[in-house]
Structure 1
Amino acid sequence: MTTTCRREAAESPSESSGTSTPPPAPERGTGAAERSRKRRGWALLIVAAIVISAVAAGIGRGQVIKSEGAGSLFDFFAAAASPRLDAEFLALTGTAMLTTLAYAVLGTALSLVIGLIGGVLSSQAWWASGVRSRRGRRLAGWGLARAVLVVPRGIHEVVWGLFFLVVFGIDPIVAVLAIGIPFGAVTAKVFSELLDETGRKPYTALLAAGSSKWSAMLYGLLPPALPDLISYGFYRFECAIRSAAILGLVGAGGLGFQLALSFQTLRYPEIWTLLFALILLSVAADYWSSLVRSARARGRRRSRDGGGVRRDPLLTASLVFGAVLIALSAWWVGLDIAVLWSGKAWEFGIQLLSEAWPPSVGGTGVSGLLMLAGVTLAMSIVAITIAFGLGALFAVPASTPAQGRDHVERGAVARIARTAAMLASRFVLVVLRAIPPPVWALLLLFVMYPGILPGAIALAVYTTGVLGRLMAESVDNLDARPLRAIRATGASASKVFCYGVIPAAAPRFVAYGLYRWEVTIRETVVVGVVGAGGLGLLLDHQIGSFNYAGALTTLATLILLTLVVDVTSAAIRRSVR
Structure 2
Amino acid sequence: MSAPTRLTVARDAGGRAGRWRPPGGGRGWAVVWMLAVVWSLGGWLVADGPVVNASGWSRFAEFFAAALSPQLSTDFLLRTGSAALSTLSYAVLGTLLAVVVGLVIGVLVSETWWAAGTGATSHRGVSRVGWLLTRLALAVPRGVHEAVWALLLLSVLGRDPLVGVLAIAIPFGAITAKVYAEIIDESAGDAYAALRAAGARRGPALLYAVLPTALPDLVSYAFYRFECAVRSAVVLGMVGAGGLGFELVLSLSGSRHAEVWTLIYTVVVIGAVVERWGSGLRRAGGAARSRLSAVAVLGLVLAALVHLGPSLSRVVSFRTAELLAGLVAEMFPPSLPEGGWSRLLEGALVTLQMSLVAGTVAAVAAVAVAFVAARGGTTPAHRSAGMLARWLLLLTRSLPPPIWALLFLFLLLPGPLPGALALGVYNFGVLGRLCAEVVENLDRRSHDHLVATGAPAVSAFAYAVVPQAGGRFLTYGLYRWEVAVRETVVVGIVGAGGLGRLLEDQRVAFDLDAMAGTVLALIVLCALVDLISATVRGSLRR
TM category (shorter chain) comes to 0.7 to 0.9
Matched, 1:447 2:422: no
Aligned mate of 1:58, from 20, 24, 45: 45
Q: 1:545 — aligned with what?
A: 509
Q: 1:11 — aligned with what?
A: 19
Find the residue that maps to 2:51 and give its secondary structure: coil
Q: 2:424 — aligned with what?
A: 460
Q: 1:319 — aligned with what?
A: 294
User: Take 2:47 and 2:143, find their aligned partners in 1: how far apart are those partners?
Assistant: 32
Q: 1:267 — aligned with what?
A: 256
Q: 1:291 — aligned with what?
A: 280
User: Take 1:128 and 1:568, find their aligned partners in 2: how far apart are those partners?
Assistant: 19
Matches within 5 A, 1:18-167: 36=24, 38-58=25-45, 62-123=49-110, 143-167=132-156
User: Take 1:258 and 1:207, find their aligned partners in 2: how far apart are those partners?
Assistant: 58
User: Take 1:42 and 1:285, find their aligned partners in 2: how far apart are those partners?
Assistant: 36
User: Take 1:200 and 1:489, find their aligned partners in 2: how far apart are those partners?
Assistant: 31
Find the residue that maps to 1:170 and give its secondary structure: coil
Matched, 1:476 2:484: no
* 2:79 aligned partner, one-letter code: L
Matched, 1:354 2:318: no
Change in CA separation of 1:490 and 1:526 when aligned onto 2, cut-off 3 Å: same
Aligned mate of 1:337, from 287, 312, 315: 312
Q: 2:384 — aligned with what?
A: 420
For each residue in 1:300-327, what CA deviation from the matched residue of structure 2 results, as whole angstroms up to 9, or x when unmatched? Answer: xxxxxxxxxxx52111111121112111
* 1:69 aligned partner, one-letter code: G
User: Take 1:357 and 1:48, find their aligned partners in 2: how far apart are those partners?
Assistant: 38
Shift of 1:425: 0.6
- Give the TM-score normalised by the residue count of structure 2: 0.86
Ranges in structure 2 where 5+ consecutive residues have no aligned partner: 1-15
Find the residue that maps to 1:58 and give its secondary structure: helix
Query: RMSD between aligned alpha carbons?
Result: 3.4
Find the residue that maps to 2:495 and give its secondary structure: helix
CA contact (8 A) 2:219 2:282 kept: no
CA contact (8 A) 1:433 1:464 kept: yes
Shift of 1:393: 2.3
Find the residue that maps to 1:531 and give its secondary structure: coil
For each residue in 1:471-505, what CA deviation from the matched residue of structure 2 results, as whole angstroms up to 9, or x when unmatched? Answer: 22333344545544665577776776678766765
Find the residue that maps to 1:335 and give its secondary structure: coil
Q: Percent of counterpart pairs with the same letter?
A: 46
CA contact (8 A) 2:482 2:529 kept: yes
CA contact (8 A) 1:283 1:430 kept: yes
For each residue in 1:312-362, what CA deviation from the matched residue of structure 2 results, as whole angstroms up to 9, or x when unmatched? Answer: 211111112111211110110121111212333322221111111111113
Matched, 1:371 2:346: yes
User: Take 2:216 and 2:275, find their aligned partners in 1: how far apart are those partners?
Assistant: 17
- Does 374-383 or 110-119 show the bigger shift? 110-119
CA contact (8 A) 2:17 2:464 kept: no
* 1:255 aligned partner, one-letter code: L
CA contact (8 A) 1:9 1:507 kept: no
CA contact (8 A) 2:116 2:124 kept: no
- Does 388-397 or 138-147 show the bigger shift? 138-147
- Give the TM-score normalised by the residue count of structure 1: 0.81
Change in CA separation of 1:174 and 1:462 when aligned onto 2, cut-off 3 Å: same
Q: 2:486 — aligned with what?
A: 522
User: Take 1:134 and 1:193, find their aligned partners in 2: how far apart are those partners?
Assistant: 22
User: Take 1:479 and 1:269, find their aligned partners in 2: how far apart are those partners?
Assistant: 45
Shift of 1:557: 0.9
Q: 1:429 — aligned with what?
A: 393
Q: 2:9 — aligned with what?
A: none
* 1:392 aligned partner, one-letter code: V
For each residue in 1:8-29, what CA deviation from the matched residue of structure 2 results, as whole angstroms up to 9, or x when unmatched? Answer: 983258xxxxxxxxxxxxxxxx
Q: 2:12 — aligned with what?
A: none
Find the residue that maps to 1:83 and give its secondary structure: coil
Matches within 5 A, 1:116-265: 116-123=103-110, 143-193=132-182, 197=187, 229-265=218-254
Change in CA separation of 1:466 and 1:485 when aligned onto 2, cut-off 3 Å: same
User: Take 1:127 and 1:203, find their aligned partners in 2: how far apart are those partners?
Assistant: 16
- Does 429-438 or 62-71 show the bigger shift? 62-71
For each residue in 1:47-93, what CA deviation from the matched residue of structure 2 results, as whole angstroms up to 9, or x when unmatched? Answer: 21011111233279621121211111111111111111111100000
User: Take 2:493 and 2:109, find their aligned partners in 1: how far apart are those partners?
Assistant: 33
Aligned residues: 520
Matched, 1:570 2:526: no
* 2:476 aligned partner, one-letter code: Y
User: Take 1:72 and 1:425, find their aligned partners in 2: how far apart are those partners?
Assistant: 27
For each residue in 1:402-452, what CA deviation from the matched residue of structure 2 results, as whole angstroms up to 9, or x when unmatched? Answer: 4xx4xxxxxxxxx11111111011111011111111111111112221111
Find the residue that maps to 1:10 and give its secondary structure: coil
- Does 375-384 or 41-50 show the bigger shift? 41-50
Shift of 1:112: 2.3
For each residue in 1:454-485, what CA deviation from the matched residue of structure 2 results, as whole angstroms up to 9, or x when unmatched? Answer: 10111011111112222223333445455446
Find the residue that maps to 1:566 and give its secondary structure: helix
With CA pairs under 8 Å and 6+ residues apart, which has the higher RCO, 1 or 2? 2
* 1:445 aligned partner, one-letter code: L
User: Take 1:489 and 1:195, find their aligned partners in 2: how far apart are those partners?
Assistant: 33
Change in CA separation of 1:202 and 1:183 when aligned onto 2, cut-off 3 Å: farther
CA contact (8 A) 1:203 1:220 kept: no
Shift of 1:227: 6.2
Change in CA separation of 1:437 and 1:72 when aligned onto 2, cut-off 3 Å: same
Matched, 1:532 2:496: yes
Shift of 1:508: 4.3
